[in-house]
Structure 1
């Protein structure tokens, strides 16, 4: 039987930050290009209730979603292993299940798309003679750094970037300041850096690199990635900006009325600051206290998604984030870590939500006028596509790079003078000032206008004939040609 449309498989790493853009990419391939998409999800044994709600959302009925067997890595890595190591081991251990599942499929996929942590699975694509692509759920600047890393001299990197704290120069792109650098670069001779180098080398082996950005957002960096004299000589694989890939209101795991949305319906236009640090972001006890005081002193309306503070590595909650999430209508957590009387004093202007809130619906609501965010790229995309200006508060991974891009290059956000970290605390006075500037002051007018311009730019990129629409169509055309070649080969055998 002849297959008339390509079947594409996509592999998502553990964590909502990896899964959401993969689901959106699969949905785009189905709707825009009439492909069949199968999403392979690598889950851990502490995956949250939100994961189940997300993959079972009616908006993703057009996808075949396959949950690979849960991976228990407790006997392989210690509890002190970094998040990167944990995810890498989980992805490695999932390869046999992925291979056997693809082998048993009646109609094997034409192409396999893997994310940042799934490069090892490209060998499976080679085994089954499939096209292989990488999908980077972050931006082109991060792609450029990753691709260029193998070309760096470790000694020079250690001496100039780490010891002397000089910016890391990337041909044709903005340099990465030391204070914004990735954790892997802090130890060029460590295992995390070696793993990062491997990803950079694997990128060049792919048939293409898909990136969650669009042409007008990062034209300079994308030009460098296409220029042989800049980065193409090391990138080799073509880069396709296909973004923004962000959850729509329909694909968010919430249905019907929600206490947060009901509250927002009663608030004035663009008057509310939304505060959330992503699916796994947490703050220290002291910083949580200062944030509470800053919000209260600002006297502005707010929604704050609160998690119990952690006074250790913020990565620790990433894989278990969302487990035990509560709707505020069902009960509240013990808020002993907030200032005494805070909930009572702010009840007329603020709403504290434990653990989880329907972010796409919140950012799309006309009452929201600002977003205090950890700068995860998913949250960034959701904010921009809804025209919401940001207060950036990076926590880990490439979020510091994202924060710099949003404030200094794109002009859609502001940030504190003190860089948030485990060793420093942003004071209540500065938090109050930032909230005021974004939501209430005339000084924030330019920022609010700029983010609305980017919202329209994003919409333009996705429509028929737009830059991202055309990029994804090129991938689809390659899959169609590969399918036709395979069928002709089979007929001639």
Structure 2
């Protein structure tokens, strides 16, 4: 007997930056389209992943959302600390393919479509085996997609320098549709809803005592890390700015700015011995230090937050925009420099930190300056006005009849039609 409801399978690659948007897409498909959705999660650390609240299905999803953890994949044989996190992700996903195929083969009602991200494209062969529709979910901006599609055709130096001379998203999407022979469906922004967080009570209680738009929130994402020297310069810069701050701290590393990208969970580091001597005591009246993790959506939505010093990961960027928070762009790795350029040069949503030399640490005076610009100076007010426009645009796109809503409906209709075709045997 065939199910009459479309069943969508999503594959989430390792890392919170991949898992979060995939889960939000799954929730949209359940709540807006009433689809049955199965999310297959590829992970490097099941122990901590199993404890995260992100993998708890919403109460209103009923039996429509299943989350399946694929077996742990050991990739320790591919190299040591010198191996990039991207190589680790690619290898992990590739070695998970037999388990994904096995899970799909056991399903009583197999999925109508398979949705993967850029690291999961090997799974599209499995979709072909079971006559499933195939979609690639790009949880980033259209310019990043254009670069990925056109890399063989353009000079590498142009990519590295991120040269742009036009308003990004509308032009890029138009060009992609005209030059690439595949349909493109812009469905974002997909951002986690605000939830009452059991972990965030202390942080939110502190924010409740601060004046409106007076606090800079500092976080480099779930995996971003700084060198020991850079952590000290950042601490001095925050202190010299004389502004209020919430700083999500991770221990410094000398090896890789993405050193903890694949780590999951809510760990802590209570020693803070890598900060300048006396820094916590000197700033305790206006600063809050948060080891390892904070409920970011709840923090960014708080009225006392006046700016976000961010690594420019796309999840963080979207969370900042939908909450109307101007940004200080501090990119670390992957496509983050591209995102920072777009935010600063094209759409006017941020200012950007600059080191004196390309490979040098960002100095304390530069940090002091940008924090004051975003919270105190006229430049920050101008960016806040621009962010308000972007926030309204995002809300309109997701509302019924908006561009993102309509794109999601098109995808849903394609899946429904495919299911009917399969059921009729044609």
TM-score, length basis structure 2: 0.94
RMSD across aligned positions (CA): 2.0
Any residues of structure 2 matched to 1:82-481 within 5 Å, and which?
82-152=84-154, 157=155, 161=157, 168=158, 176=159, 178-180=160-162, 218-227=169-178, 232=179, 235-250=180-195, 254-255=197-198, 258-322=201-265, 325-326=267-268, 333-418=270-355, 423-481=359-417
1:279/1:322 contact within 8 Å kept: no
2:44/2:74 contact within 8 Å kept: yes
The answer to whether residue 19 in structure 2 is matched with residue 19 in structure 1 is yes
Would the alpha carbon gap of residues 146 and 265 (structure 1) be closer, same or farther in structure 2, given more than 3 Å must change?
A: same
Query: Distance between the aligned counterparts of 1:107 and 1:150, measured in 2?
Result: 39
Q: How far is 1:60 from its partner?
A: 8.2
2:49/2:264 contact within 8 Å kept: no
1:277/1:374 contact within 8 Å kept: yes
Superposed CA deviations along residues 272-301 of structure 1, whole A, max 9, x for unmatched, are: 100000000011111110100110111111
Q: How far is 1:31 from its partner?
A: 1.3
Would the alpha carbon gap of residues 315 and 27 (structure 1) be closer, same or farther in structure 2, given more than 3 Å must change?
A: same
Q: How far is 1:244 from its partner?
A: 0.1
Query: Distance between the aligned counterparts of 1:267 and 1:6, measured in 2?
Result: 48
TM-score, length basis structure 1: 0.82
Query: Distance between the aligned counterparts of 2:324 and 2:40, measured in 1?
Result: 32
Superposed CA deviations along residues 17-50 of structure 1, whole A, max 9, x for unmatched, are: 0000000011111111121111000011366358
Would the alpha carbon gap of residues 92 and 4 (structure 1) be closer, same or farther in structure 2, given more than 3 Å must change?
A: same
Residue 194 of structure 1 is matched in structure 2 by none
Deviates more, 1:333-342 or 1:476-485: 333-342
Superposed CA deviations along residues 154-206 of structure 1, whole A, max 9, x for unmatched, are: xxx36xx2xxxxxx2xxxxxxx4x3449xxxxxxxxxxxxxxxxxxxxxxxxx
Query: Distance between the aligned counterparts of 2:312 and 2:6, measured in 1?
Result: 35
2:200/2:294 contact within 8 Å kept: no
Q: Secondary structure of the residue that 2:77 maps to in structure 1?
A: coil
Q: Secondary structure of the residue that 1:70 maps to in structure 2?
A: coil
2:2/2:109 contact within 8 Å kept: no
Superposed CA deviations along residues 92-126 of structure 1, whole A, max 9, x for unmatched, are: 11001000100100100000000110000000000
Where does the alignment leave 5 or more consecutive residues of structure 1 unmatched?
A: 162-167, 169-175, 182-215, 327-331
Where does the alignment leave 5 or more consecutive residues of structure 2 unmatched?
A: none
Choose the corresponding residue for 2:418, options 482, 485, 490: 482
Query: Distance between the aligned counterparts of 1:268 and 1:443, measured in 2?
Result: 20
Runs of 4+ in structure 1 displaced over 6 angstroms? Answer: none
Would the alpha carbon gap of residues 264 and 100 (structure 1) be closer, same or farther in structure 2, given more than 3 Å must change?
A: same
Q: Secondary structure of the residue that 2:76 maps to in structure 1?
A: coil
Query: Distance between the aligned counterparts of 2:385 and 2:377, measured in 1?
Result: 13
Query: Distance between the aligned counterparts of 2:226 and 2:41, measured in 1?
Result: 29
Q: How far is 1:456 from its partner?
A: 0.6
